Amino acid sequence: MTLVTGAEGQLGSDVVLELIRRGKQVLPVDISVLDITDKDAVQNFIYSKKPSYVIHCAAYTTVDAAENNIELCMRTNAEATENIARLCRDINAEMMYISTDYVFDGESDLPYEINATTSPLSVYGLSKLKGEEAVLQYSERHYIVRISWVFGNNGNNFVKTILRLAETKPNIRVVNDQIGSPTYTVDLAVLLCDMISSKKYGIYHATNEGFCSWAEFAEEIIRVAEKNCGIAKIPSEEYPTKAKRPMNSRLSKSSLDKSGFSRLPPWHDAIKRFVECDRKSRRNNNSTTAQRQ
């Protein structure tokens, strides 16, 4: 049985769907069922269910808000992860921890390898790094998967924001000097499910193939969705945020290659499939609404 935390989130929901598609026994939990910051509740739950695998997707991911909510962010991303890692060790379960490009400072000129020096710029990044360290220390059978620029069919994300803004704005200002890779949760879920139970433990980087800036990302969304909206490319200093972002979020996928895992499809292709899925969902919703009326 595979326990999936954060099962109602962007990534968790797609992981659950992929596991079900493969005929696996899944135990999906979210905060409505289990608050991962409640140490005793988590211990009782995991001891009673004794899953063979834990895919830990739950996290505090509101990057800017984390700067003012340090305690909650650390309790969720670091302390709760340590507790789960200890429990996985106790019941001999494999643990998969979803981490982030934000563990790096973004000052390198090259894509980051898995063993590159970590130096987070934000509270969020530090909390996720602390989570990584806990998994490394307490869970021998672990997978740490760093991802970036996540978007999925469930929840809010950059792609949905651009599509929404394009409905009413003739132009959208988007930073053009932060470089990375989008990650489509549908694609990532397939890889994570391939990984879990493979016994190929370690740290991995997993994003869709190819690199772009946030502005280039937005331009492709607008192009694929056929929206009549321009993208104004701006430097980061013209769009200040509470938390500092890494300028270079490029992650090397050599770790996937060495372990024989397939890389994710190109990010352009991922956007195309996402937009098609979004259109279909909107049509279905409109049809349902019309029938009710």
pLDDT in the model for residue 27 = 96
Q: Is 197 left (phi over 0), alpha (psi -120 to 50) or beta?
A: left
pLDDT in the model for residue 14 = 97
Residue tagged 């991995």 (tokens): 204
Taking the domains of the chain in order of start, what are their residue ranges?
2-157+182-209+249-265
pLDDT in the model for residue 277 = 84
Q: For 138-188, how does the pLDDT look when each residue is reduced to its tens digit (9 = 90+)?
A: 998 999 999 999 999 988 999 999 999 999 999 999 999 999 999 999 999
Residue pair 116/129 in contact (Cβ under 8 Å)? The answer is no
Which residues belong to the active site? 124
pLDDT in the model for residue 198 = 94
Q: Is 6 left (phi over 0), alpha (psi -120 to 50) or beta?
A: left
CA distance 177 to 215: 8
Joined tokens for residue 13: 């929901």
Q: Amino acid identity, residue 181? A: S
* Buried residues in 50-76 as b, exposed as e (16+ CB within 10 A): ebebbbbbbbbbebeebbebeeebbbb
Helix, strand and coil percent figures for the chain, each rounded to 5? 45, 20, 35
Q: Strand, helix or coil at 237?
A: helix
pLDDT in the model for residue 93 = 96
- List phi, psi (to 5°) of 86: -60, -40
Please report which residue ranges of the chain form alpha helices under DSSP H.
10-21, 39-49, 63-66, 70-74, 80-91, 123-138, 158-165, 185-195, 214-225, 254-259, 267-292
CA distance 283 to 111: 40
pLDDT in the model for residue 166 = 95
CA distance 236 to 75: 30
Q: For 68-99, how does the pLDDT look when each residue is reduced to its tens digit (9 = 90+)?
A: 999 999 999 999 999 999 999 999 999 999 99
Residues of the chain with pLDDT under 50: 289-290
pLDDT in the model for residue 8 = 94
pLDDT in the model for residue 284 = 64
Distances, alpha carbon 41 to alpha carbons 34, 47, 122, 125, 260, in Å: 7, 10, 29, 26, 38
CA distance 272 to 137: 40
CA distance 10 to 23: 21
Task: Give the CATH superfamily of 2-157+182-209+249-265.
Answer: NAD(P)-binding Rossmann-like Domain (3.40.50.720)
Nearest 10 degrees: CA dihedral of 168, 171, 175, 180?
Answer: 70
CA distance 145 to 154: 20
pLDDT in the model for residue 9 = 94
Within 75-124, strands assigned E span 94-100
pTM exceeds 0.85 for this model:
yes
**DSSP conformational letter for 236:** G
How far the first Cα of the chain sits from its last, in Å, is 43
pLDDT in the model for residue 114 = 98
